[in-house]
Amino acid sequence: MVSLHLMSSAVQNSAELSRYFVPLLLVNLSGLVVLVGLIAFNTVRLIRQYLRHRAGARLTLRMVLMFVVISLAPVGVVYYYSFSFLQGGIRCLVRCADR
């Protein structure tokens, strides 16, 4: 979270933080890669347990699927408004540049 906040500040042309943008970007990307790796590892492990009929695997799979379905609505709303905000900012920049 601190890294994302510093990146946001660096993007806003802060002279002291702009030199840290690339290292912060690399830290955030490495964190994302680790997170995706952990999710993939745990998903493969859960599928193997389900196929081997381990105790609790069906319940765990149902809970994971319910969590994914329930989390799609808020993620979709945040994505929609973030995309609209960015698109509006880009349109404003294009209009201002044309003048």
Note the pLDDT tens digit of each residue in 6-61.
Answer: 666 666 665 666 677 778 778 888 999 999 999 999 999 999 999 999 999 999 99
Distance of CA 35 to the CA centre of its chain: 10
Sign of CA dihedral 24, 28, 33, 38: positive
pLDDT at site 33: 96
pLDDT at site 30: 93
Note the pLDDT tens digit of each residue in 71-89.
Answer: 999 999 988 888 887 777 6
Amino acid identity of residue 97, one-letter, is: A
Contact yes or no for 47/58 (Cβ under 8 A): no
Amino acid identity of residue 34, one-letter, is: V
Give one DSSP letter per residue of 31-74, joined into a string.
Answer: HHHHHHHHHHHHHHHHHHHHHTT-TTHHHHHHHHHHHHHHHHHH
pLDDT at site 97: 66
pLDDT at site 53: 93
pLDDT at site 21: 72
Amino acid identity of residue 19, one-letter, is: R
pTM surpassing 0.75? no
63 pLDDT exceeds 90?
yes
